[in-house]
Amino acid sequence: MMVVAPIGIGNNILEKVRKTKPHVILFDMSLKNLGALSVVELLIKNFPDSRVIGMGLIPTQSEIVEFVKTGASGFILKDATVKEFVKTIRDVAHDSKVLLPQFTGSLFAHMVEHALKRGKGRASRSVSMTKREREILVFIADGLSNKEIAERLNVAVYTVKSYVHNILEKPALHSRLQIAKYTRDEETPST
């Protein structure tokens, strides 16, 4: 891991990123006066090969929702340990999405509620699931983290991650939100 450029307030961020071509960008989300969310959106739009991790103090649920909507790859608290920073950066560099467990439950519940209110069509019925995948689907729809699911099923977190990965590989299911929507649709009889 190598820091290619620190970029401060007032610097031309887009130009620096264009010159240095970083794989991962760690962005201070507390720079509200600079329109941090707008900058993150610009970075993602202009540099799709770079991954953006937001860093800040404890955000509100609405701030996390808005941050996730930008398409960023992760979020970490400023007071995280060095080990947590390194793990988050490495996970994001390997195309994982990282959001702190304490935010995923409320965020996921908000996203499911929003998706259900929008009332879009049902997910494809051609998605076939194993019994264990269906169990995990229900837990995901309830907003449980991988760790919580692992504890309930008495399996390793890695095992749950593998199942979630397999579920996301199914046609028509590309995010945890679509998994939740699919699960809710399956539980609700067609009219």
- Report pTM: 0.55
Answer whether 24's CB lies under 8 Å from 43's CB: no
49 and 95 co-located in one domain: yes
Identify the residue with better confidence: 151 or 159: 151
- Establish if 7 belongs to a structural domain: no
Would 191 be classed as within a structural domain? no
Asked if the structure places residue 5 within a domain, the reply is no
Q: What is the pLDDT of residues 36-95, one digit of tens each?
A: 788 888 888 999 899 998 888 877 767 777 777 788 888 888 888 899 889 889 989 988
Q: Domain range spanning residue 157?
A: 104-186
Q: Domain boundary residue among 64, 99, 134?
A: 99
Number of domains the chain is built from = 2
The angle at the Cα of 131, spanning 127 to 133, to the nearest 5 degrees, equals 60
Residues 6+ apart with CB under 8 A from 78: 30, 55, 56, 57
CA distances from 60 to 56, 65, 102, 191 (A): 11, 9, 11, 37
77 shares a domain with 125: no
Domain limit, last residue, from 74, 99, 124: 99
**In the listed set 42, 65, 99, which residue is the last one of a domain according to the structure?**
99
What SS3 class is residue 18? helix
88 and 132 within one domain: no
Tell me the C-alpha distance between 68 and 78, whole Å: 18
Residue located via tokens 């701030």:
63
